[in-house]
Amino acid sequence: MYTASDLRKGLKIVLDGQPYIVSDFEFSKPGKGQALYRCKLKNMVTGYTMDRTYRSGDKFEPANLDELHMQFLYKDAEGFHFMDTVKFDQVALSEEQVGDAKNFLKENMEVDVLFFDGNPISISLPIFVELLVTWAEPGIKGDTATGATKPVTLETGHVIQVPLFIEQGEILKIDTRTGQYVERVKK
């Protein structure tokens, strides 16, 4: 069990049967009375954020979380399917659970799947992924002085802004945290 004095940013706890992560934390000690711990908590299943204040005697249950390295297999009407690379067990996550990661997810990609009490709740992508440009408008000569960009479509169907010199058929390195173009990958 955790006490209120154990609270810190990044700590994972269970409230009302749901896993939460402490996303912000502030300690204050008024002149009289107990110390106060103000926290911003994010629900790891729904993404809902709430503010709570706790006193020094409050206790919390640690979240029973596991992270498994898995391989993305395919997407169908049931959701996104992943396979454990060691035991070969398969799990499916809904589009809401996968979130924006779906924009950078391609078949056979290795990801980390987060489980709460044996149920998958979210995935973590590698920081950088390499994706093929399947469609790009031709760049116009003379427009490069302003650092102009153009939209391109990646093999996952996601559209991002890139410099004008990027062409169809090139492989790009994308930062999955921001969703932005980093560089071209040399062939």
Question: Tens of pLDDT along the chain (187 residues)?
Answer: 898 888 888 888 999 888 998 889 898 888 878 889 999 999 888 888 999 999 888 999 998 889 899 999 999 998 999 999 899 999 999 988 888 899 999 999 999 999 988 889 889 899 999 999 999 988 666 655 667 888 999 999 999 999 888 899 999 999 998 999 999 998 7
pLDDT value, residue 56: 83
pLDDT value, residue 182: 93
pLDDT value, residue 49: 92
pLDDT value, residue 92: 94
Q: Other CB atoms closer than 10 Å to residue 75's CB: what's the count?
A: 16
**Domains, the chain, ranges and CATH?**
2-62 (2.30.30.30), 65-124 (2.40.50.140), 128-184 (2.40.50.140)
Q: What span, in angstroms and rounded, lies between the C-alpha atoms of 164 and 159?
A: 14
Question: Are 82 and 91 within 8 A, CB to CB?
Answer: yes
pLDDT value, residue 144: 57
| Three-state SS letters, 43-104 | ECCCCCEEEEEEECCCEEEECCEEEEEEEEEEEECCEEEEEECCCCCEEEECHHHHHHHHHH
pLDDT value, residue 142: 62
